[in-house]
Amino acid sequence: MNFAIATTVSLMGCCVTLPLFFRYGYALNVSFFVKGLLFLVSLLVAALPVFAMPEMAGNFGKYTRVVQYVLYFIYVTAVILLVLTLFRDALWTIGALFFKSIPSPFQLHWLNVLNIITIGVALLCAGSALYQGMKVPRVKEQVIESYKIQQDKTVVVLSDIHLSRSVFPDKIKGLVERVNALNPDIIVLPGDTVDDDKVYTQPLLQILSRLKAKEGVYYTSGNHEFYVGYRQSMKQLESAGFINLDNAKVQFDSVCLAGVPDIPSAARYGVSVDWSAVCQNADQYRILLSHQPILPNETNSADLIISGHTHGGQIFPFHIFSWYYNSKLLAGLYEPKIGKNVYVSRGSGQWGPQMRFLAPSEITVLKLRRKLVE
């Protein structure tokens, strides 16, 4: 366990739990000793993501997944509780300023009553977030038209699956069944498909290898393929029968599909990004798989960039940070001023907590259609 990472994660957790302590625990009519214990509990909850990491939770052997789910559920509940509390207190304060009949937010009786209600709502939201993270993703369709497309294509995007010891095999089975039922022409995996040691990902990858598309299943690397070992990850995906598009391209009639390694990770780990491999023929509809929604000048030749990485924020309010740090591209179809379309998938899985709050996962179906009229 990297001490710097553990410290950073814990300090970030304190930004969640300490405000909750002062708004919930400190407001209770209990002894100073009990308040001290509650303060220590808040510090412990702040550090739960550290204990849920594979390096720590792995010490519990076959109970690793259970430990991770419990610890993350408690922590995410705290995050949701903080969001609800801030929203509640803002409305409460404004109401108290303008209406004398509304009690002050500092009246302990009403504060404790509303605290109980808010905790209940937070638990319900966390339960829903857990369900959203564990269920098979929904199918989301997006029609994209172009004069360059001569033959209709159905492209299924499965981004950010994050195969790891935290993922239940039944979910991957359900994912494969739902995708195959769509009878796609092409399936693309634009990064973060594997996210753990081979001993944990290989059984899940064997299930994922049952994906079927008329013209093949193609993949590129994401940042997590680099984290767990770039060459090993690429070899695993290739052995599953998928086709590597890192610095490569393939043509389908009027459509050209190309890919590049995750751009920031490639620079950090010494892997080259070969922009000459990107489709250049302006008469073809050019698609580029690029894990992070980064738009360097070299991507200008693409008509459509397919990305992931953002998870759509995964758990609110992280949407705000994800939007800001990903070129202000969070989820869905964007048409930047430079003229090309960018589709950012929320992902078919998630990293860390197997939970999603106000950011549902998706199986993306891009229906490429010939544009007939203006």
Q: How far apart are the first and last CA of the chain?
A: 57
pLDDT of residue 58 exceeding 90, the answer is no
Q: How confident is the model at residue 8 (pLDDT cuts 50, 70, 90)?
A: confident
Write down the mean pLDDT value for the chain.
92
pLDDT of residue 20 exceeding 90, the answer is yes
**CA–CA distance, 355 with 167 (Å, rounded to integer):** 11
More confident residue, 277 or 83: 83
**CA–CA distance, 307 with 256 (Å, rounded to integer):** 16
**Predicted local confidence at residue 289, as pLDDT:** 97
* Alpha-carbon torsion (34, 40, 42, 48), positive or negative: negative
Average pLDDT in the 128-151 region?
94
Report yes or no: 361 and 137 within 8 Å, Cβ to Cβ: yes
pLDDT of residue 338 exceeding 60, the answer is no
**CA–CA distance, 23 with 27 (Å, rounded to integer):** 6
Query: Tens of pLDDT along 295-329?
Result: 888 888 899 999 999 999 999 999 999 999 888 89
For residue 265, how many other CB atoms are within 10 A of its CB? 20
Nearest to 304 by CA among 285, 325, 329: 285
Residue 67 half-sphere exposure, CB side, CA atoms within 13 Å? Answer: 18
Q: What angle do CA 359, 365, 368 make, to 5 degrees?
A: 135
**CA–CA distance, 197 with 315 (Å, rounded to integer):** 25
| Prediction pTM value | 0.91
Report yes or no: 186 and 252 within 8 Å, Cβ to Cβ: yes
Nearest to 313 by CA among 357, 257, 261: 357
Token pair listed for 252: 């389908």
Query: Tens of pLDDT along 181-219?
Result: 999 999 999 999 999 999 999 999 999 999 999 999 999
Query: Tens of pLDDT along 142-188?
Result: 999 999 999 999 999 999 999 999 999 999 999 999 999 999 999 99
Average pLDDT in the 102-110 region?
85
**Predicted local confidence at residue 282, as pLDDT:** 85
**Predicted local confidence at residue 227, as pLDDT:** 94
Q: How confident is the model at residue 96 (pLDDT cuts 50, 70, 90)?
A: confident
Q: Where are the alpha helices (DSSP H) in the chain?
A: 3-20, 32-46, 48-52, 54-57, 64-98, 108-134, 169-180, 198-208, 223-228, 230-239, 263-269, 318-325
Query: What is the per-residue burial (b if ≥16 Cβ within 10 Å, else e) of 52-75?
Result: bbbebbeeeeeebbebbbebbbeb
Average pLDDT in the 37-44 region?
93
pLDDT of residue 91 exceeding 70, the answer is yes
Q: Which residues on neighbouring strands pair with residue 204, listed in sequence order? A: none
Average pLDDT in the 65-92 region?
95
Question: Domains along the chain?
Answer: 3-133 (no CATH), 137-370 (3.60.21.10)
Q: How confident is the model at residue 9 (pLDDT cuts 50, 70, 90)?
A: confident
Contact partners, residue 173, CB within 8 Å, separation at least 6: 207
DSSP for residue 188:
E
pLDDT of residue 6 exceeding 90, the answer is no
Query: Tens of pLDDT along 253-281?
Result: 899 999 999 999 999 999 999 998 899 88
